[in-house]
Structure 1
Amino acid sequence: MGVEGIGGIFFRARDPDGLSAWYKAHLNIGAGCNAHAMGPVDEWAWMTMAGPLVFAPFPADTAYFAADKAFMINLRVSGIEALIAGLRAAGIAVETRAEWDAPETGRFARLHDPEGNAIELWQPPG
């Protein structure tokens, strides 16, 4: 017996209902969402695709994400260009940098949710 995966991500929000609606509308994640229609929808869970997940504590003084935040959400995606275009069309600022992308690690983009939480989009190589 042992840990088999992440069972949830829980964090504080000033407007939990509004933030949940934002994630669902713009990133298709949260309760009742289903990645690529992989089965029945669960009203309480987000049904995700299997794949790599990085679990890594960072040094307290990291510059990888904002100093006033204790975490950054990294989301594994496909079709990153279309996703970025849709987010920008909705008025959401998305940052990309050529130096973040590499053939061995994939493509990356960053944005923030309405409460300022950092989100990194990651499209693995291949």
Structure 2
Amino acid sequence: MGVTGIGGLFFRSRDPEARAAWYREHLGIEAGGDGLWQQQAGMTVFAPFPADSDYFAADQAFMLNLRVTELDALLAALEAAGIPIERRPDWEASEYGRFARIHDPEGLAIELWEPPALS
């Protein structure tokens, strides 16, 4: 008996339909209504952060981290769509993989994570 994974992420939105459309268009996530997102198996990090952490905005209770493949191609598509991307040198060569950050239309930080290749 026990937890086998995350069953969903539910969050409030000023315009749920527009926000769901943004996630569907730019990230390929079916995020609302009756849509179910069949994600690939892989690691999920579950980590409470200290209340005074500066890793993401203090006014946000959480940050969404999404596992991705082909990070460079995804970032190019997001940039072409006019979505600002935050990059940091220490996110490029981490032992944990590569990272970049975007924000959804309502300001939620989304960390895009390309895990390191398994050898």
Whether 1:51 and 2:42 are equivalent positions in the alignment is: yes
In structure 2, how many angstroms separate the alpha carbons of the residues matched to 1:121 and 1:115?
17
Whether 1:90 and 2:67 are equivalent positions in the alignment is: no
Structure 2: stretches of 5+ with no match in the other structure? none
What's the CA shift for 1:2? 1.0
Q: Alignment partner of 1:99: what SS?
A: helix
- 1:7 corresponds to: 7
In structure 2, how many angstroms separate the alpha carbons of the residues matched to 1:79 and 1:29?
16
| TM-score, length of structure 1 as denominator length | 0.88
Q: Alignment partner of 1:75: what SS?
A: strand
- In percent, how many aligned pairs have the same letter? 64
Give the ranges of 4+ consecutive aligned residues of structure 1 lying more than 6 Å apart after TM superposition: none
Structure 1: stretches of 5+ with no match in the other structure? 33-42
> Could you tell me which of 47, 54, 60 is aligned with 1:63?
54
| TM-score, length of structure 2 as denominator length | 0.93
In structure 1, how many angstroms separate the alpha carbons of the residues matched to 2:10 and 2:102?
19
Whether 1:100 and 2:80 are equivalent positions in the alignment is: no
- 1:19 corresponds to: 19
Aligned length: 116
What's the CA shift for 1:30? 2.0
| CA offset digits 1:68-89 (Å, max 9, x no partner) | 1101000000000000000000
8 A contact 2:23–2:31 mirrored in 1: no
